[in-house]
Amino acid sequence: MGLLVAIEGIDGSGKGTQARQLVDRLNSESISTGLLSFPRYSETLFGRAIGEFLNGEFGPLEAVAPQLSATLYAGDRFESRDVLTEALANHQVVVCDRYVPSNLAHQGSRVPAARQAALIEWIEQIEYEVFGLPRPDAVVWLDVPPHVSRRLIALKAPRDYTEKAADLQEADLEYQIGVHQAYRMLAADRDHWFRVDGLVENSEDVRSIEHIGDEVLDIVRRQF
């Protein structure tokens, strides 16, 4: 069974770029590596529903209970479970651009602090126990502040699930701040999480893709 690595972070933090770069670099070292990106918007029933949710078709964000949106994201992975387990059987490493930790951070950010731990535990039970998804061996959190990621979101290419420049979650700075805080809490509390700073030290400048990628690659190499 292959090593399962999740690349995590708030919207606009560079997850997709780093996930693709990691896959390319590991494969270039003859370490067989596959890539999966979640949500799988056009490939699963739940993924298409997530696209509708993010496009505002279910109403504003606060109108949808976090337990319901959590179930959409978990369902997308459940529909993809066979694809994931096959990839883990055929590769030494499988990299996920977003995985279960995204659900924990995004939904956990939407409830008061006193309810956060219970909701996170509930989501993990659904994802890992009810739906039988494998737990990640390593979670790499790209720590980019929300006010910086907001600039990077504006540079994103168009997505197939929305015609808007930013989806329901991306457009909400306060929401992104809450998600960032939830990621920080999760990273501080769990042994298999690794924080990678997205900014140059003592600066508002984003580190180069290559320098961040070097650190991510080093983290993954240490898991073997």
The domain spanning residue 61 has which CATH number? 3.40.50.300
User: Of the candidates 79, 73, 143, 129, which has an alpha carbon nearest to the alpha carbon of residue 101?
Assistant: 73
pLDDT at 164 over 60: no
| Six token digits for residue 110 | 């939407």
- pTM for this entry: 0.93
Q: Are 53 and 69 in contact (CB under 8 A)?
A: yes
Considering the chain, what is the average pLDDT of its residues?
A: 93
The DSSP H or E segment spanning 23 is helix 15-28
Instruction: Look up the domain containing 26 and give its range.
Output: 3-221
Tally of domains in the chain: 1
pLDDT at position 13: 95
pLDDT at position 149: 84
CA atoms within 13 A on the CB side of 224: 9
Residue 39: pLDDT band (50, 70, 90) is very high
Which whole number is the average pLDDT over 169-198?
A: 92
How crowded is residue 224: how many other Cβ atoms within 10 Å of its Cβ?
Answer: 8
pLDDT at position 162: 60
Render pLDDT for 188-224 as a digit per residue (tens, 0 to 9): 999 899 999 999 988 888 999 999 999 999 999 999 9
Q: What is the DSSP letter of 159?
A: P
Q: Are 73 and 169 in contact (CB under 8 A)?
A: no
49 phi and psi angles, rounded to 5 deg: -65, -35
